[in-house]
Amino acid sequence: MKVCTDSCLFGAWVAFKTEQKIINPKSILDIGTGTGLLSLMLAQKSGATIQAVDIDKNSVVQAAENFNTSPWNERIQAFQSDIKEWKAPGKYDLIISNPPFYENDVAPADNRKSISKHSAAMRLENLSLQVKNLLNEDGNFALLLPSSRAEWFENAAQANSFYVKEKTEVRQTPLHNYFRTMLLLQHQKTETSKSELVIKDNNNAYTDEFIELLKDYYLNL
Number of domains in the chain: 1
pLDDT of 221 reads 80
Work out the pLDDT band at 101, boundaries 50, 70, 90: low
Residue 219 belongs to a domain = no
Where residue 136 sits, what CATH number does that domain have?
A: 3.40.50.150
Residue 130 belongs to a domain = yes
Work out the pLDDT band at 182, boundaries 50, 70, 90: very high
Residue 160 belongs to a domain = yes
Q: What is the mean pLDDT of the chain?
A: 89
Partner residues linked to 101 by β-bridges: none
- In which domain, by residue range, is 31 found? 5-214
- The sign of the CA dihedral 172, 45, 3, 87 is negative
Which distant-in-sequence residues (6+ apart) come within 8 Å of 134 by Cβ? 29, 86, 88, 91, 92, 95
Residue 157 belongs to a domain = yes
Residue 221 belongs to a domain = no
pLDDT of 109 reads 46
Residue 82 belongs to a domain = yes
pLDDT tens per residue, range 156-181: 899 889 999 999 999 999 999 999 99
CA distance 79 to 56: 10
Q: For residue 96, is pLDDT > 50?
A: yes
Q: For residue 114, is pLDDT > 70?
A: no
pLDDT of 1 reads 54
pLDDT tens per residue, range 13-52: 999 999 999 999 999 999 999 999 999 999 999 999 999 9
Judge contact between 51 and 79, C-beta under 8 A. yes
